[in-house]
């Protein structure tokens, strides 16, 4: 756009130096860039805002308001360019205002307060706005700025200079035939002439309208003959039409043909088409449509008449093929590598159609996936299959793949599957890898049935210290007396002496919890031994563990044995005896 300035002698002199106004817009431009580059608590941004606010002080000392004319590359004040940017790009303030129709704005004292930052926040939105999003004028209207006024033009109505007599807002005033603005008086006079009858003497009176004749003028208001409810109805129906899934319509049509047409050739062709469509839909990521097809196939087979066993078997295998380990593994790998997952609802519907044979693949993939969005869906599908197919879950507890077996063990424990107890006991007894044995101990503890607790006894002699410790504490919590023979052998044998302090205390606590008064004699002898075979060799910590076990027994005989050891000189033993008498443990 080319800006034409009035001759120098006709231009009104500015009330103050244009340099003051130039400083304001230079600092405003820097603040706009800082707003885009920095967080709003950044010192650089805060300093830029403060500089703009300070620059308004000398301006308001001279003026009450600042009226700026906007061109595509300049801000003009009293005919003087006070800010110029030749580049018509997203970082140009004049261009951002001009391209959306704003041709003049007025700043009033007080604008430099809150409204300054509100205006700065609009510029990045305008720069990034897409064609269908709000323009600058809409954003300014939403902000309802009190210290900024502006005039604008409708971009589809080319106009020229601003009419000084027009009210602030839409610009310009009515145009004459030469497209020049009319003064208010001229516009009123011309309007009066048009309203007076008989003016323009040569104008012929309109001819009478003939009945039955349709004129183009009759259709001028066609767009407005519907009421609001009818327009809303048409809009809803249009949106519903565009929202239709054509793929599902095609699938429904094929299934209807299969159901209604008993001709073997027709049904064979439909089956071929559906099998091909399943492959195409999976390749295109239309998992919701595949799930819809698998659900509807079952309904169709129930309603179809004269269905042969061959057709039933072929249709029934659609879901089985999807659940085949090779096909499912490929699909899950594609989902794992996808940058964006399909809608969660589509995947959930698809996984809901998987057969029990898919459980092993799901459990294996749960252990390997790095996709945080895919993992919850896989776990949900695996849980559904495990709950409805306990036999398959129990079989996978002893699967050859450690990852599958570990996930199956974990789910058996979480679901408290009592049927998995024998298989879990076999895992403990088979010397499987440590993670599998640890998972089996946890699962048996969570199941908690008498059979599960009995199966835990195997782990009392496990080679891993942590597994033994978890097992001991689980048996202690349930006071499992059938384990007394194994625990007695550990306490009286070499196992307790070779264990570390934590495990030793735990095993003696278990012994005290299940031995009853029958164990008092052994523990009392261990606690109060003064000589003989064990003299100078007895570990004080072992004697302290005996005191702890007596405290767990808690009977009168156990308390009597503890009271005899009250005068013990060894600090460790003395402390353990005192705690046991108070009813505490280590």
Kindly report, residue by residue over 339-370, the tens digit of the pLDDT: 777 777 877 777 777 888 888 888 888 888 88
| Mean pLDDT score, 326-333 | 81
The tokens for 365 are: 């993939």
Residue 555 CB contacts under 8 Å (≥ 6 apart), including other chains: 516, 517, 520
- What are the structural domain ranges in the chain? 18-152, 251-388, 391-478, 488-586
Decide if 88 contacts 72 (C-beta within 8 A).
yes
Residue 75 CB contacts under 8 Å (≥ 6 apart), including other chains: 25, 68, 69, 81, 82, 83, 84, 93, 94
Asked if the peptide bond before residue 172 counts as cis, ω within 30 degrees of 0, the response is yes
Per-residue pLDDT for 154 more than 80? no
Same fold? 391-478, 488-586: yes
Mean pLDDT score across all residues of the chain: 79
The tokens for 454 are: 């009995």
Per-residue pLDDT for 69 more than 90? yes
Residue 586: pLDDT band with limits 50, 70, 90 = very low
Residue 313: pLDDT band with limits 50, 70, 90 = confident
Nearest-angstrom CA–CA distance, 446 and 417: 9
The tokens for 436 are: 């599998």
CA torsion sign for 358, 363, 366, 369 is negative
For every residue of 173-216, DSSP letters joined together read PPB-TTSPBPPHHHHHHHHHHHHSTT-STTPPPPPPPPTT---G
- Indicate whether this model's pTM tops 0.85: no
In this predicted structure, which of 39-53, 130-144, 193-207 has the lowest mean pLDDT? 193-207
Nearest-angstrom CA–CA distance, 489 and 560: 25
Chain centroid, CA 207 distance in Å: 70
pLDDT value, residue 218: 57
C-alpha neighbours within 13 Å on the C-beta side of residue 142: 10
Nearest to 384 by CA among 354, 360, 408, 405: 354
Per-residue pLDDT for 177 more than 60? no
Q: What three-state secondary structure class fits 570?
A: coil
The tokens for 510 are: 């278990």
CATH class of 391-478: mainly alpha
Per-residue pLDDT for 480 more than 80? yes
Query: Edge-to-edge, what's the strand order for the sheet holding 102-108?
Result: 80-84, 74-77, 65-70, 102-108, 148-152
- pLDDT tens profile 490-536: 888 877 777 888 888 888 888 888 888 888 888 888 887 655 444 44
Rounded (10°) CA dihedral 190, 196, 198, 201: -10
The angle formed by the CA atoms of residues 548, 580 and 486, to the nearest 5 degrees, is 25
Residue 106: pLDDT band with limits 50, 70, 90 = very high
pLDDT value, residue 186: 41
Per-residue pLDDT for 419 more than 80? yes
Q: Are strands 102-108 and 80-84 parallel, antiparallel or unpaired?
A: unpaired
pLDDT value, residue 292: 82
Stronger pLDDT, 54 or 538, i.e. the higher one: 54
Radius of gyration for the alpha carbons in the chain, expressed in angstroms and rounded: 44
β-pair partners for 104: 69, 151
CATH code: domain 488-586 is 1.25.10
Per-residue pLDDT for 95 more than 70? yes
Decide if 271 contacts 311 (C-beta within 8 A).
yes
Stronger pLDDT, 176 or 269, i.e. the higher one: 269
Beta-carbon count within 10 A of 538 CB:
19
Which among 174-183, 269-278, 444-453 has the top mean pLDDT?
444-453
The tokens for 147 are: 């210290």
| Mean pLDDT score, 399-404 | 86
Chain centroid, CA 547 distance in Å: 55
pLDDT value, residue 107: 92
pLDDT value, residue 22: 92
Residue 172: pLDDT band with limits 50, 70, 90 = very low
- pLDDT tens profile 113-129: 889 988 988 888 888 88
Stronger pLDDT, 545 or 186, i.e. the higher one: 545
pLDDT value, residue 175: 41
| Mean pLDDT score, 236-242 | 85
β-pair partners for 76: 69, 81
Decide if 436 contacts 396 (C-beta within 8 A).
no
Residue 173: pLDDT band with limits 50, 70, 90 = very low
Residue 162 CB contacts under 8 Å (≥ 6 apart), including other chains: 69, 103, 104, 151, 171, 172
pLDDT value, residue 396: 86
- pLDDT tens profile 183-214: 444 445 445 544 544 444 444 555 565 555 66
| Mean pLDDT score, 205-232 | 63
pLDDT value, residue 538: 61
């Amino acid at each position: 756009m080319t800006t034409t300035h009035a001759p120098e002698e006709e231009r009104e002199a500015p009330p103050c130096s244009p340099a003051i106004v130039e400083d304001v817009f230079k600092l405003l431009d820097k603040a706009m860039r800082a707003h885009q580059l920095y967080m709003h608590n950044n010192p650089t941004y805060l300093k830029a805002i403060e500089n703009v606010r300070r620059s308004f002080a000398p301006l308001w000392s001279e003026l009450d308001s600042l009226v700026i004319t906007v061109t595509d590359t300049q801000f003009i004040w009293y005919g003087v360019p006070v800010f110029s940017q030749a580049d018509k790009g997203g970082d140009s303030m004049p261009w951002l205002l001009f391209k959306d129709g704003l041709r003049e704005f007025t700043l009033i004292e007080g604008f430099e307060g809150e409204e300054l930052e509100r205006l700065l926040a609009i510029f990045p939105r305008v720069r990034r706005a897409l064609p269908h999003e709000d323009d600058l004028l809409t954003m300014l209207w939403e902000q309802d700025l009190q210290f900024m006024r502006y005039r604008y033009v409708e971009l589809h109505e080319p106009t020229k200079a601003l009419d000084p007599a027009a009210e602030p807002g839409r610009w310009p005033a009515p145009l004459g035939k030469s497209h020049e603005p009319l003064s208010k008086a001229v516009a009123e006079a011309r309007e009066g002439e048009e309203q007076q009858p008989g003016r323009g003497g040569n104008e012929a009176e309109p001819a009478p309208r003939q009945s039955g004749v349709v004129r183009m003028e009759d259709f001028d208001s066609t767009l407005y003959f519907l009421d609001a409810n009818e327009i809303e109805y048409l809009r809803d129906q249009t949106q519903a039409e565009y929202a239709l899934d054509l793929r599902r319509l095609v699938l429904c049509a094929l299934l209807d043909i299969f159901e209604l047409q008993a001709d073997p050739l027709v049904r064979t062709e439909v089956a071929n088409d559906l099998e091909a469509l399943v492959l195409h839909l999976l390749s295109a990521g239309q998992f919701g449509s595949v799930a819809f097809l698998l659900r509807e196939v079952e309904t169709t087979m129930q309603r179809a008449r004269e269905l042969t066993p061959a057709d039933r078997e072929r249709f029934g295998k659609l879901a089985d093929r999807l659940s085949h380990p090779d096909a499912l593994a490929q699909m899950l790998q594609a989902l794992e590598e996808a940058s964006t997952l399909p809608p969660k609802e589509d995947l959930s519907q698809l996984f809901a159609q998987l057969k029990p044979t898919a459980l092993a693949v799901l459990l294996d993939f749960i252990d390997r996936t790095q996709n945080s969005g895919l993992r919850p869906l896989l776990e949900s599908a695996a849980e559904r299959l495990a709950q409805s197919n306990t036999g398959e879950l129990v079989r996978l507890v002893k699967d050859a793949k450690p990852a599958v077996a570990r996930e199956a063990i974990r789910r058996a424990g979480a679901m408290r599957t009592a049927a998995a107890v024998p298989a879990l006991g076999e895992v403990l007894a088979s010397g499987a890898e440590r993670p599998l044995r640890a998972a089996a101990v946890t699962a048996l503890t969570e199941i908690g049935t008498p059979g599960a607790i009995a199966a835990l006894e195997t782990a009392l002699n496990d080679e891993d210290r942590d597994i033994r410790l978890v097992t001991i504490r689980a048996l202690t919590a349930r006071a499992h007396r059938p384990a007394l023979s194994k625990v007695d052998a550990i306490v009286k044998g070499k196992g307790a002496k070779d264990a570390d302090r934590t495990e030793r205390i735990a095993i003696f606590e278990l012994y005290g919890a299940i031995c009853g008064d029958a164990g008092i004699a052994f523990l009392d002898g261990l606690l109060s031994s003064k000589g003989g075979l064990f003299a100078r060799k007895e570990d004080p910590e072992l004697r302290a563990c005996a005191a702890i076990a007596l405290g767990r027994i808690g009977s009168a005989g156990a308390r009597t044995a503890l009271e005899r050891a009250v005068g013990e000189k060894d600090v460790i033993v003395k402390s353990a005896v005192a705690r046991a008498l108070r009813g505490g443990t280590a």
